[in-house]
Structure 1
């Protein structure tokens, strides 16, 4: 009971573990699981049928009932709703300032209770009549739909003169254990709910780290397999290229660099420059396009030049032929043309490259 620093009892799931005054006799191991008990004379208890689907709806209905039954403004009251498994549910009403003072006092003592239970709710709910017990040196009375501090005149007024049945110690401790395991009414709701402490789950962190390392290892393994696959593929293509190159090289020639050796052979076959075939084809195309011209000699030089001896009907045609070859992308050098027997003859030297 926060307001009275009297007897404190430590419970496990089955029985009483220890009892003491203040901090005496209470194991340190229960500090994180402490359940505080509010004095009976500071909490007003009601019972009513409330909605069970939504906690918010039940609390809203309970606040309406509390405002009708209390003379204090609703803004100054803290209303909590419990559940005993019956159709009617317990409602606890206490002052907001009182709740704040209790929790502050407990915090100064180093206690952050997981629940705050009104003292009458520790007693078992009787099937009929009233039950009484001593809690922390104070009498507490519990009825089927009531709970209050045992005071001579008040008790007689509420019970109608009927004497409450005293609960034996064994039954009381069993009821306290049950209430601690599953509080029928916890005042730590709404703005006074216990804040969850942030705790690092090292087990989860280790599992996530192991999972991350596994993913990283698998990703690295996939990359290594892919690199090896590409390397093997490149080696296979290179071997295949060497095999094909052997068929294109002269028989018996040793393959050192297939690409370079094939380029050298191609150069030898087609000749220097643009090659004999390309150069002569372009020259004959220009001659066919220039009427009145004919080839009288042809000499392909080692440097890729083509010496072309031509005969034309008139000197202007030699100029037209030269321009046609230059238009084809060649550099053309004209020699001395001479007229004899009604024909004009001379030489044109054709080299790769544009002369324009």
Structure 2
């Protein structure tokens, strides 16, 4: 930790706050009251030892929620209050065991509210005993900003004569020198073994807008749009070139059907249509007109075509032999329904049937 402020919360609200300002690996300054907030300096709040109960237990190194649930089970056997009414925080694994801190939710909320009132959002809240070094054996004692604190390998408490004797079973804790205490506190502030800011008291992370990332995303979005537009342009060009190639091929094929001597620069499709019209005759031509006539006559029982005469003007004169007048009207109606104009002569009786002519034109 390059720059930080360790803020000691007093056990009694009537007492002042005390703080140490850390620069690098030394205590650069210390004082009382609320330190001035600095944007580049994190604040590590230290909870008084008498307000936090510490336990150690082997907990599963899985998710934070599973570890917290296991910690509540451990705590429920060591406290008179229901575990769900307490704030339980779990520390990092060390030598197979984790520190478990228990504090009243109201006390925790009060600390954070007081800090917020002073414009401070602490990066972590650490129990005071965890600022002391872990002894190789026995217990150690130190004064932290006016608070006497003791700890062992798996214990930590506010150093009071009767309580200390009870915990240590008469073994006197070793008093640490000020320099050793400060060095241990600096190390603990840099990497807290346990942070009370968990669960409902976890610090809210402020997410700043990364404008450089926004600009990069905007550039990428622009490139994607340009690529999409380029793909559409290429597709349109391919379709256009393909259509031109098909049109050129159709023109070549159409010219193959034109007679020799046809003009080279003319519209091949139009010239081919003109030739087809000349070949089949005007109007619908002989083939289509005759096919329509035969189709209409075949639909009439005992109807017969006796003669056909195709005129230069595109009309087709048809001689018919029909059973009766109703059949003649049916043939005329079918041809008119097919899009032809029909002129019918008077049908005369011949050998029990009617004979007459119809002129069919478009």
Decide: shared fold, TM above 0.5.
Answer: yes
Matches within 5 A, 1:303-314: 304-307=314-317
Contact (CA 8 Å) 1:301, 1:307: kept in 2 or not? no
**After the TM superposition, which residues 1-356 of structure 1 pair with which residues of structure 2 at under 5 Å, given as runs?**
1-3=8-10, 4-11=15-22, 14-24=25-35, 27-30=38-41, 33-250=42-259, 251-280=261-290, 294-295=306-307, 298=309, 300-302=311-313, 304-307=314-317, 326=332, 329=335, 331-335=341-345, 348-352=357-361
Give the deviation of 1:79 after TM superposition.
2.2
Q: 1:198 to 1:15 in 2, by over 3 A?
A: same
> How far apart are the structure 2 equivalents of 1:35 and 1:89?
21
Task: Please say if residues 150 and 156 of structure 2, whose CA atoms lie closer than 8 Å, have aligned partners that are also in contact.
Answer: yes
Q: Which runs of 5+ in 2 are unaligned?
A: 1-7
Check whether the contact 2:148–2:158 (CA below 8 A) recurs between aligned residues: yes
Q: CA RMSD in A?
A: 3.7
1:226–1:12 CA distance, 2 compared to 1 (3 A): farther
Q: 1:101-141: CA deviations, max 9, x gaps?
A: 11111111111222111111001110112212221122222
8 Å Cα contact 2:37/2:119 also seen in 1: no
1:177-201 CA distances to partner (integer Å, 9 max, x unpaired)? Answer: 3222321122122222223334334
Task: Report the Cα offset of residue 281 of structure 1.
Answer: 6.0
Task: Report if aligned partners of 1:19, 1:25 keep a CA contact under 8 Å in 2.
Answer: no
